[in-house]
Amino acid sequence: GPVDHVAFGAADWNAVVERLERAGVHAVRNAVPGGPRQLFFEDPNGVRVEINVPNPQTS
């Protein structure tokens, strides 16, 4: 089927959040129990983006 979204990994949660906020991007935050912290948003072309950052509490 068609691509639903693209996903990326990052190492620094605070840096990613700060950069998105400076760019005016509204990102939905999520934490997977026992897994990563996640951010979801749409890029200017409407492509859905997911960013996964390891959760230091579960790593």
Q: What is the DSSP secondary-structure string of 15-46?
A: HHHHHHHHTT---EEEE-TTS-EEEEEE-TTS
Query: Which DSSP symbol is given to 10?
Result: -
d(CA 11, CA 23): 19
pLDDT at 3 over 80: yes
pLDDT at 58 over 90: no
pLDDT at 17 over 80: yes
pTM of the predicted model as reported, rounded to 2 decimal places? 0.87
Mean pLDDT of 37-58: 93
The two structure tokens encoding residue 9 = 């990994």
What class, spelled out in words, does domain 6-53 have in CATH? alpha beta
Domain spans of the chain? 6-53
Residue 49, pLDDT score: 98
Nearest to 7 by CA among 24, 18, 30: 30
Residue 7, pLDDT score: 98
